[in-house]
Amino acid sequence: MMAADSGVSVLENEDKSPKIPEKKKTEFDVVIIGAGPSGYTAGIYCSRAGYDTLILSGILPGGQLVNTTEVENYPGFEKGIMGPDLMIEMRKQTQRMGTTIIDDEAVDVDFRSSTFKILTGSEEYEGRAVIIATGANPRKLGLEGEKTFAGKGVSYCATCDGPFFRNQELIVVGGGDSAIEEATFLTKFATRVHLVHRRKELRASKVMQERAFNNEKIKFHWDSEVINIKGDQKMQQAVIKNIKTNEETALDVGGLFVAIGHQPNTKLFKNQIDLDDEDYIILKNKTQTNIEGVFAAGDVHDRTYRQAITAAGFGCMAAIDVDKYLTENS
Ligand code: NAP
């Protein structure tokens, strides 16, 4: 029975002996860096396999799905689920399996010794195996105005910022699923959404393309790039250029959403883990990196599929590979 039901104060039963500060646990069988679908799935599998598992989730747990609207293609949710809600469910499930989750960011790693070290600002954690599941971040256009007006009109997350732009004209840059999804979502708030894409064909899936083509609020600007973002306190205008005709057009818009893909989060591992020419982790043997005992899962190595479900699948694969590695090396 819980103390609250017994009629005896919890404080009356409290141990009055001097408190020795509890030493923070820092040694684990497995340390997972990152808490998107791959990190959480890896946590679930590692903990269920009996390994003492830590997830260092970073300061924004949940990965890219936290910035997504409705997810219709993750199995198990007949009516779809909002991205942030899906990540909350995954986190709760992972914790229920016994994984320790710490919302702190890894700032350095040392994979040179047999026990791997992962440092945050305040702690040093050790793992007998590591799974890198740090995902990827939105790519930038590289324009001066992009920095000047970041948070003042320029955004990388329609879900987060869309409602701030009611009854305004907006721009979305990109031609992939993200751009089309964001443009479609933003039509809920905007009077018009200008989709600016550098080619004449979209990269997005056909079903999403059709949805956008049928949406009267979306205007497509093909073969075009944003070359300037202007404003005062907030952005007020973007200049786009048709790269075939060199024609420049000024669009008076209140916001510009950049949706041009992602950069894998691998800076931390650069001198220790082999990366390809776009900084994605190179897998050497199944999910294992160039270092035995260090594995990678999800968008941090996957430039092809990049779906929540494939990221989760890779998390599962990495955990199974960790199990094999720890069994053979204990
Ligand atoms: P993506 O598929 O890589 O598309 C990036 C888009 O941005 C491309 O159209 C690309 O043009 C354009 N681009 C890249 N660099 C640019 C630059 N410097 N200036 C202007 N345009 C630039 O990225 P994504 O749309 O973020 O999608 C990533 C993955 O997530 C994909 O596998 C996608 O299927 C998936 N996803 C799925 C859903 C869903 O199913 N609900 C939603 C979002 C994303 P080019 O086409 O000319 O290369």
Domain containing residue 70: CATH number: 3.50.50.60
Condensed to tens digits (0 to 9), the pLDDT of residues 216-241 reads 999 999 999 999 999 999 999 999 99
Q: pTM for the whole thing? A: 0.72
Smallest CA separation from ligand 1 atom 19, residue:
141
Ligand 1 center from residue 230 Cα (angstroms)? 25
> Which residue's CA is minimally distant from atom 2 of ligand 1?
176
Q: Where are the beta strands (DSSP E) in the chain?
A: 27-33, 53-56, 70-71, 81-82, 100-102, 108-110, 116-119, 124-132, 136-138, 154-155, 169-173, 192-196, 218-221, 224-231, 235-242, 248-252, 255-258, 262-264, 294-296
**Parent domain of 66:** 27-137+262-328
* pLDDT greater at residue 261 or residue 276: 276
Q: Is 316 a catalytic residue?
A: no
Rounded percentage of the chain residues whose pLDDT exceeds 90? 78
Distance 173 CA to ligand 1 centre (A): 10
pLDDT of residue 8: 38
- Closest ligand 1 atom to residue 225 Cα is 20
Q: Identify whether residues 86 and 170 lie together within a single domain.
A: no
Residues 177 and 71 in one domain: no
Look at ligand 1, atom 29, and give the residue with the nearest C-alpha.
306
Residue 1 — very low, low, confident or very high, per pLDDT cuts 50/70/90? very low
pLDDT at 279 over 90: yes
Q: Establish whether 323 is a catalytic residue.
A: no
pLDDT tens readout for residues 56-69: 999 878 887 886 66
Query: Dihedrals φ, ψ of 75, to 5°?
Result: -60, 145
Percent above pLDDT 70 for the chain: 92
Is 175 found in the same domain as 131?
no
Q: Note whether residue 9 is domain-resident.
A: no
pLDDT bin (cut points 50, 70, 90) of residue 22 is low
Statement to judge: residues 181 and 213 lie in one domain: yes
Q: What is the average pLDDT across 18-34?
A: 84
User: How sure is the predictor about 5, in pLDDT bands with cuts at 50, 70 and 90?
Assistant: very low
Residue 219 belongs to a domain: yes
- Residue 119 within a domain: yes
Q: Are residue 248 and residue 283 in the same domain, yes or no? A: no
Residues with CB under 6 Å of ligand 1 are 73, 139, 141, 173-179, 181, 198-199, 203, 259-262, 306-307
Give the closest residue (by CA) to ligand 1 atom 22: 260
**Count of alpha carbons within 13 angstroms of residue 156, beta-carbon side:** 15
Place of tokens 């040093």: 124
The count of domains in the chain is 2
Phi, psi of 225 (to 5 degrees): -130, 150
Average pLDDT over all residues of the chain: 91
- Active site annotation includes 157: yes
